[in-house]
Amino acid sequence: MTRRTLSVAALAVVVGLFAGAGRNAAAQSHVHSGAPATAQATPERMKMHDQMMTAMKAREDKLDTLVKTMDGATGNAKIETMATIIRELVRDQKDMHGRMDAMHQHMAGAPQVAP
């Protein structure tokens, strides 16, 4: 196997893992049966939800653009685009974990720690 083939295979695995996780999360209902009765849809929460959904859509659009660029590229340009996609996926994953941690701390009433 050549280095390029390994790079393409590695990207395919990474993209597949992240894309599968994103699709599964997006397919889930926004109704959380385990949510406490005090977690009502207040205007503030709805605004936060809308902002989160807008940010997610922007990240997905950016990744779609990068994948289209990668599909049209050859040689080193394709490999560089693949590396950019992987960096974006890792950044998005870290950002998501930071937001989830802040949300959990907020829900638990603990002071928030900057990521």
pTM score > 0.75 for this model? no
Does residue 26 carry a pLDDT above 80?
no
pLDDT tens figures, 51-85: 989 999 999 999 999 999 999 999 999 999 999 99
Q: What percent of the chain has pLDDT over 90?
A: 41
* 96 within some domain: yes
Range of the domain at 74: 57-109
b/e sequence 56-83, b meaning 16+ C-beta within 10 Å:
eeebeeebeebbeebeeeeeeebbebbe
Evaluate whether 15 touches 81 at the Cβ level (below 8 Å): no
pLDDT number for residue 89: 95
* 19 within some domain: no
Specify the number of domains making up the chain. 1
* 61 within some domain: yes
